Amino acid sequence: MSEFEGKVVIVAGGGGHVAKALAKSFAREGASVVGLDISDQALEGFTAAVAEVGGKSLAIACDLRDWTSLKNAVDRAAKEFGRIDILVNTATARTNPVWKDLEDCTLEEMTELMAVSPIGALGVMQAVLPYMKENGGKIINFGSGSGRNPALGLCPYGISKAAMHSLTKAAAAEWAKYKINVNGVLPFAMTPNMQKTLDEDPAKIEGFMPPLKWIGDPERDIGRVVLFLASSASDFVTGQNLPVDGGQDMML
């Protein structure tokens, strides 16, 4: 029996491609998975993805920029399944100014970007904290290599992810007393948009290719690392922001 049998996992940003893959990874191991995202439309396909592997799930529409909405969603999940053991924070603002120079960013864009990551991430971390205080827990935040090494055109996004890395370390230090491990994953994973670019213009991706020369599969390459960080095998690991990117981090 998997150690995840009977555990309850919340995936914030559950409507995303990688998030759905992670939900399937946990469901395969016997966990119940709760997806949080901005709307029912954003969460479309979440429960179906988990059902593909015979898992139990719940999709809850809530606004990560609204901490009251977050708390209500987490309380509903806890009432439904009886506990919260693991949180995976994958959310990023839908309207982030990814391809902009800093001098061109507006206050509205930067406020929207930071409102989800890291501020919304902290909101959902606070919401799960009461359920983890008694028995411990695992929190995995999604950062980015661009948060460690500034990349031209990606600096606004990188700033928000650098803040996520700092949040991970801060929470790990503060919440160690509750036996809560907080770690980060910095992934380089295949998404539908990236696949579309590869199909249309492979040369455009070539400059981003890591030394291992492939783009990570969300479930196989990213999911297995997330499962490790959520398992008892990582009980002595906390406050780390781990690149899972085929060595791309070394090249930046």
- Whole-model pTM over 0.85: yes
Render pLDDT for 96-119 as a digit per residue (tens, 0 to 9).
556 788 999 999 889 988 999 999
Domain ranges of the chain: 8-188+218-243
Phi and psi angles of residue 69, each rounded to the nearest 5 degrees, phi first: -60, -40
Tokens of 21: 């893959």
Q: How far apart are CA 212 and CA 131, in angstroms?
A: 40
> CA-CA distance, 13 to 206, in Å (whole number)?
28
Q: What is the pLDDT of residues 2-61, one digit of tens each?
A: 999 999 999 999 999 999 999 999 999 999 999 999 999 989 899 999 999 999 999 999
Superfamily of domain 8-188+218-243: NAD(P)-binding Rossmann-like Domain (3.40.50.720)
